[in-house]
Amino acid sequence: MSDFRSVGFGRSGQATTVAVRNRVLRNTYWLLALSMVPTVFGAWLGVVSGFSMFAATSPGMSLLLFFAVAFGLMFAIERFKDSGIGVLLLLAFTFFMGLMLSRLIGMILGFSNGASLIMMAFGGTGVIFASMATIATVSKRDFSGLGRWLFMGVLVLILASVANIFLQMPAMMLTVSVLAIVIFSAFMLVDVQRVVNGGETNYVTATLAIYLDVYNVFTSLLSLLGIFGGNRN
């Protein structure tokens, strides 16, 4: 479970025209789709190179590496968000997130039906995103007020996730995964609507925020599918 809203990423700017809002939304969706390529490549490389085994056997070091590299890239993206460098940094960030995802992917592929579970999680995430994006686009209700409560939920999830790296409690993992799906699905609604309503004019930061929502929903859904649907060889 990964989110960086506590440092304010993806929440800048005010759009003034419908044309600007449509352009930002279109560019955000294109960049979001493109960001899946380095994510998949990073996950594949992590599995075949053995990095996933390192992440599994050294959770403490893996956590430190994650925070150091991820926060560094996040600050760099924010710094260069108005240039092509920002796009390249975002793609580098999504590659790294895919690399960190390889631990979970490797574990799921250990099941005889692992590949189908990954496709189910991918499809489920796509359905959730399409639903939230549609509601955000057509609804007249302002969902921005949910942000404060969702942020509090994210803080609880982060603390619980870090604690469970060392506690290894199945019940806590299950609870965190379910809550993460709910919270980050709602964040999709908030983040997409912010672009639609003109609250975000930079498609790089908009993509970053929505990518984190999608990433967290996918990993949480995949974890649940592994718990309840994984078949050992």
Q: What is the pLDDT of residue 145?
A: 87
Q: Which pLDDT belongs to residue 56?
A: 63
DSSP helix/strand/coil, 12:
coil
Write out the two tokens for 230.
């994984």
**Would you state the pLDDT for residue 86?**
96
Q: What was the pLDDT predicted at 218?
A: 97
Which stretches does DSSP call E strand in the chain?
none
For the chain (233 residues), the mean pLDDT of every run of 10, in chain order, is 47 60 93 97 91 68 82 94 95 96 91 93 96 93 88 88 77 89 95 92 95 96 88 70
Answer yes or no: are the C-beta atoms of 42 and 61 closer than 8 Å. no
Q: Look up the pTM and report it.
A: 0.87
Q: Are 45 and 99 in contact (CB under 8 A)?
A: yes
Which SS3 state, helix, strand or coil, does residue 232 take? strand
Kindly give, in sequence order, each residue whose CB lies less than 8 Å from that of residue 180, ignoring residues fewer than 6 positions away. 1, 157, 216, 217, 219, 220
If residue 140 lies in a helix (H) or strand (E), which one and from where to where? none
pLDDT at 233: 61
